[in-house]
Amino acid sequence: MKPQEEHNVDKIFQRLAGYEAEPPDGVWDSIEEALGRKKKSRLMWFRLLSAAAILAFAVLSGYYFGRQSRPVASDLSQKNIPAATEAMTGNSHVPSFVPASDEKRNPAKNNPVRQRAGFVQMALENSTTSNEIRDEEENYLKEQQVSFPFLQLREPAMEMSTKWNLPGIKERLLLASLSSDEGIVVEPDEHTQNAPVRYFSLDGQAGPLLAFRNVHDGNREVLADASGISVKSKEEPLATYAGVLRVNYQVTKRISIGTGMGYSGMGLQWKESFSPSAYSFNGTDILQNKESVAYSGSSVGTANSLGNIPALEGLVSSRMASSVPAESSFSELKFVQQLGYVEVPVLIRYALTDGRLGVSLSTGIINHFLVRNTVFMNSANGKTDLGSTEGIRPWNYSGAAALGFDYHLTGNITMRLEPAFKYYLNPSNTTGSFSTHLFSFGVYSGLSYTFK
C-alpha cells in the first residue's frame, strides 16, 4: 500500500469513488451487439444481400470473362476426329469433335491492435497494506441533484452497508492485500471495438472437393462422341481434394485480408462400356479377355470438354484391328482426367459475428497454376496411365466465395469449417470451339492461429 498523503482536496473528491451515474441509453444494446447476440434484422438482411451480391458477381464475372476469352478452334479438332470412328459408324458427318461456328454463339453473352499486455496492471505484489487504510466516509452518498449538461446522475441504489464495500479505495485496499495471482488475472490491453485491430493469423485448411465443369457452346453436337452421344451427358464430377496455408492480416475487428498457397485438384471422369475383347492399348491387352468380340456400337473419342487425350486414339485404333466375334457381356472402363493447381489466393474475410461461435464470409480471387495433368483408365486389368490432356491452360484464376463457421478453442486457436465455391474465370481449355470453365464445391476444415 502506498504511503497515502492525506489532502483535503483528495478527501472531498473521494466521495466520487462509490458514486453512481445513470448510464446513457443504448449502451447495453451496443454491448449485446458487440457480443454477437443482438439480432438486427435490417443489418442481417443487408449482410445476406451483400453475400448474395458477391456470389452473383463472382459467377457472372466468370461467365462474362469466359465468353470474352473463348478459345478459337484449332486444327486439334480435325486431328481429334478418329478416322476409325468414321470407318466404324459410317457416319462421317457426326464427328467426335466439331468446331462450332461463331454464328451459333449468342453475341449478347460475349462480354484489437493488441497492445502489450499488462501495461496498466497494478503491481500488487509490490504493494503493502499496513499504512494505507483510510477512513471511509459513509456520508459520501448524499442525494444532491444539479443539472449539468452532460451528466445524468442517480442516487446509489444500494444499501449503505453494501455501498461501504464498494468504493474504489476499499477495493484497492482489498486488492492490494492479495498476491498477484489471487483472483486478479493480468488484464491485457485491447483496442476498442471500433478501432482497427491489427494482427496476423495463420490458417491451415484442407478438405474434400467436388470438381465440376461448365461448357459454353451453342451446339450440342460439339462434344458428341462417335455414337452421337454428347460427352456432356457422360462426364461426371470428380471427387478430389484441396488444401491451403494462408496468412491473414486483420485490418479491423471484422475485416481481414489474406493470401497464401495451396493445392487444389480438379478434373472429371466418365465411363465407357465395351464388350470384353482383345482390346489393347499400345500393344497391351487391357481386359485380358482372349475372346474376340463384336463391336459394341460405342467408341472412345480422343477429346472431351477439357481437351484432347492423344492416348485414346491408340486405344480405339487397336480395338479396330481386332476381330469381332459375338459377345454378350460388357465391361466398363472408367476414365479419370485429373488436373492439379497450385493456388495463390487473395481473399477478404468479413466476420458477420464474432462470438465464440463466429460466422464469416470470404470472397476474392484465386490464381491457379497447373502443376498436374494426368489421365488414367481403370479397367479389370487395373489402372492404365493414359498420359495427359492436351490444350489445358497453364494458368487460370477463379472467383471464390466461402462461408466460414468458426469456433474459438482458445484465445489464439480457432477451428474453422468452411464450405467454399470456386468458379474459374478463364476457360480451362485453350483449344476447341467451346469454352470449359471449371468450378468446384469444397468443404474445408482446419485451424487458425492468431499471433496476438
Show contacts with another protein in window 85-144 (CB under 8 A): 115, 119-123, 126-127, 132, 144
Least distance to another protein, CB of residue 192, Å:
5
Window 183-222: residues binding another protein (CB under 8 A): 183-185, 187, 189-193, 195
Q: Name the grid cell of 451.
A: 499471433
Stretch that binds another protein, among 22-30, 72-80, 86-94, 320-328 (CB under 8 A): 22-30
What is d(CA 94, CA 90) in angstroms, rounded to the nearest whole number?
9
CA distances from 120 to 14, 115, 172, 175, 190 (A): 21, 11, 14, 15, 11
**Looking at 136, 137, 156, 257, which residue binds another protein (CB under 8 A)?**
156
Q: Name the grid cell of 116.
A: 502489450
Least distance to another protein, CB of residue 183, Å:
3
| 13 vs 451 by CB, closer to another protein | 13
Window 35-94: residues binding another protein (CB under 8 A): 35, 37
| 23 vs 325 by CB, closer to another protein | 23
**Looking at 39, 108, 148, 410, which residue binds another protein (CB under 8 A)?**
148
What is d(CA 396, CA 411) in angstroms, rounded to the nearest whole number?
37
Least distance to another protein, CB of residue 21, Å:
4
**Looking at 108, 146, 321, 326, which residue binds another protein (CB under 8 A)?**
146
For 137-173, give the DSSP string. -GGGG-------TT--B----S-HHHHHT-SHHHHHH
Could you say whether residue 4 binds another protein (CB under 8 A)? yes
For 237-285, give the DSSP string. EEEEEEEEEEEEEE-SSSEEEEEEEEEEEEEEEEEEEE-SS--EETTEE
**Looking at 24, 228, 325, 394, which residue binds another protein (CB under 8 A)?**
24
Least distance to another protein, CB of residue 169, Å:
5
Window 162-181: residues binding another protein (CB under 8 A): 165-166, 168-169, 171-176, 178
Q: Closest Cα to residue 396, out of 435, 444, 343?
A: 343
Helix (H) or strand (E) run with residue 418 in it: strand 413-424
Least distance to another protein, CB of residue 48, Å:
23
Q: Closest Cα to residue 114, out of 185, 35, 188, 203?
A: 188
| 38 vs 47 by CB, closer to another protein | 38
x/- track of binding to another protein for residues 405-444 (CB under 8 A): ----------------------------------------
CA distances from 55 to 42, 265, 336, 396, 426 (A): 20, 22, 30, 19, 17
Window 353-372: residues binding another protein (CB under 8 A): 355-356
Listed in sequence order, the residues at least 6 apart from 271 whose beta carbon sits closer than 8 Å to its beta carbon are 234, 236, 332, 333, 334, 335
Stretch that binds another protein, among 2-10, 224-232, 236-244, 360-368 (CB under 8 A): 2-10
Q: Name the grid cell of 387.
A: 498420359
Size of the site for another protein (CB under 8 A): 72
What is d(CA 236, CA 232) in angstroms, rounded to the nearest whole number?
8
Least distance to another protein, CB of residue 17, Å:
5
